[in-house]
């Protein structure tokens, strides 16, 4: 079951990037970031109230456990700044490269209270297939330095944010952790908006484009699912599953909204999947614990 939830998370993330990119095209990066977190907080507050969650039961916890939402703002900002300048597939590939490297470090040393899961040389083949897949995806996109760097940094912020949020969920609940992700994120996003010069003139949005506000709803799904899957899987293994799901979803989105079907992107996605399969098989052979 945890593998299915991870795949579902990957689809949500890829679609969310495209939707939030369209929202950013209308409002600009700072204002769009505020809107995304505001909608997410309103929805999560309604859900938490319905479930009678104890939202303020975190007073005795370290403040560092509440910082996942602040780190998550960087994810939204970087994605929104890169969208439209390089392909969705390239954004996902670079982000997941950053995730893979960060996940390996977290697994190796058990940072943020996560279990230590040492990287073994047997997994190197799977990692190499994954890296070759990334190269194929990047060669299929124009190299623009700033969005390339931002997309890579997105991968780091995603892993750090989801790990902190998962640690908070273990101490409280999935709902409480998700609520603080959006609450803290909104506070940081508002500060960035003020520093950027305040709220711009809001454009009139055609009714037919109501869907550009749904990125927050998908973001809620991503946070909730991540809080469930992150403590139950090795960080690197989770990253690989998210990688494969996002890459293939990104290829579909690029085919629909951007440039048509890309054989090179498909090859890159297949190589990523081979790398994922090798690592999952090795985990099974060595008896590494993971929940299904």
pLDDT (tens digit, 9 = 90+) per residue, 23-43?
A: 888 888 888 889 999 999 999
292 band by pLDDT with thresholds 50, 70 and 90:
very low
Q: Is the pLDDT of residue 280 over 50?
A: yes
- The verdict on residue 291 lying in a domain is no
Q: DSSP per residue over 143-164, as a string?
A: --HHHHHHHHHHHHHHHHHHHH
Residues 6+ apart with CB under 8 A from 166: 177, 226, 227, 230, 231
| C-alpha distances out from residue 285 to 11, 274, 289, Å | 28, 16, 11
Share of the chain above pLDDT 90, in %: 12
Calculate the dihedral angle through the C-alpha atoms of 171, 174, 175, 176, rounding to the nearest 10 degrees. Answer: 20
- The verdict on residue 292 lying in a domain is no
pLDDT (tens digit, 9 = 90+) per residue, 219-245?
A: 888 888 887 887 777 766 676 677 777
What is the mean pLDDT of the segment spanning 139-162?
A: 80
**Local structure of 222: helix, strand or coil:** helix
CB distance 279 to 126 below 8 Å: yes
- The verdict on residue 220 lying in a domain is yes
3 band by pLDDT with thresholds 50, 70 and 90:
confident
Instruction: Among 79-88, 109-118, 175-184, name the one with the lowest average pLDDT.
Output: 109-118
Q: Which of 28-42, 81-95, 260-274 has the highest mean pLDDT?
A: 28-42
CB distance 225 to 217 below 8 Å: no
What pLDDT shows up at residue 94? 80
155 band by pLDDT with thresholds 50, 70 and 90:
confident
Residues 6+ apart with CB under 8 A from 32: 20, 23, 24, 26, 80
Residues 6+ apart with CB under 8 A from 289: none
Q: Is the pLDDT of residue 259 over 70?
A: no
Distance CA 182, CA 288 (A): 34
**Local structure of 187: helix, strand or coil:** helix
Distance CA 48, CA 175 (A): 7
Q: What's the domain count of the chain? A: 1
Average of per-residue pLDDT values in the chain: 78
What pLDDT shows up at residue 76? 84
**Helix or strand (DSSP H, E) at 3:** helix 2-27
71 band by pLDDT with thresholds 50, 70 and 90:
very high
Distance CA 151, CA 94 (A): 5
Q: Which of 107-121, 169-183, 189-203 has the highest mean pLDDT?
A: 169-183
Instruction: Measure CA of the first residue to CA of the last residue in the chain; give whole Å.
Output: 5
What pLDDT shows up at residue 45? 94
- The verdict on residue 28 lying in a domain is yes
Could you tell me the residue range of the domain that residue 176 belongs to? 2-286
What pLDDT shows up at residue 125? 67
Choice between 264 and 249, residue whose per-residue pLDDT is larger? 249
Choice between 3 and 220, residue whose per-residue pLDDT is larger? 220
CB distance 150 to 91 below 8 Å: no
What pLDDT shows up at residue 190? 94
Choice between 60 and 261, residue whose per-residue pLDDT is larger? 60
CB distance 157 to 96 below 8 Å: no
- The verdict on residue 9 lying in a domain is yes
What is the mean pLDDT of the segment spanning 171-181?
A: 90
Q: Is the pLDDT of residue 191 over 90?
A: yes
Q: What is the DSSP letter of 289?
A: -
pLDDT (tens digit, 9 = 90+) per residue, 99-147?
A: 778 877 877 777 766 666 776 666 676 677 767 777 776 675 566 678 8
Q: Which pair of structure tokens corresponds to residue 48?
A: 């938490």
What pLDDT shows up at residue 120? 66
CB distance 41 to 179 below 8 Å: yes
């Amino acid at each position: 079951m945890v593998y299915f939830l991870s795949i579902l998370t990957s689809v949500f993330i890829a679609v969310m990037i495209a939707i939030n990119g369209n929202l950013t095209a209308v409002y600009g990066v700072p204002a769009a970031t505020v809107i995304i977190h505001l909608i997410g907080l309103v929805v999560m507050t309604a859900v938490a109230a319905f479930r009678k969650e104890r939202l303020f039961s975190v007073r005795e916890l370290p403040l560092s456990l509440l910082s996942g939402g602040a780190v998550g703002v960087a994810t939204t900002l970087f994605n929104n700044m890169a969208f439209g300048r390089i392909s969705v597939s390239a954004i996902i590939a670079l982000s997941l490269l950053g995730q893979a490297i960060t996940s390996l470090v977290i697994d190796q040393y058990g940072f943020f209270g996560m279990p230590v899961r040492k990287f073994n040389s047997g997994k190197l083949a799977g990692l190499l297939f994954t890296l070759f897949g990334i190269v194929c995806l990047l060669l299929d996109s124009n190299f623009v330095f700033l969005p390339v760097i931002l997309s890579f940094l997105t991968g780091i912020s995603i892993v750090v944010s989801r790990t902190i949020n998962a640690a908070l969920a273990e101490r409280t609940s999935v709902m409480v952790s998700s609520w603080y992700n959006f609450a803290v994120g909104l506070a940081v996003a508002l500060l960035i908006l003020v520093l950027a010069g305040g709220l711009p003139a809001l454009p009139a949005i055609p009714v037919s484009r109501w869907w550009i506000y749904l990125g927050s709803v998908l973001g809620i799904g991503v946070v909730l699912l991540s809080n469930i899957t992150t403590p139950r899987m090795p960080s690197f293994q989770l990253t690989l599953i998210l990688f494969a799901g996002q890459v293939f979803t990104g290829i579909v989105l690029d085919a629909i909204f951007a440039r048509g079907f890309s054989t090179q992107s498909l090859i890159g996605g297949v190589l990523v999947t081979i790398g994922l399969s090798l690592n999952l098989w090795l985990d099974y052979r060595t008896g590494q614990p993971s929940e299904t």
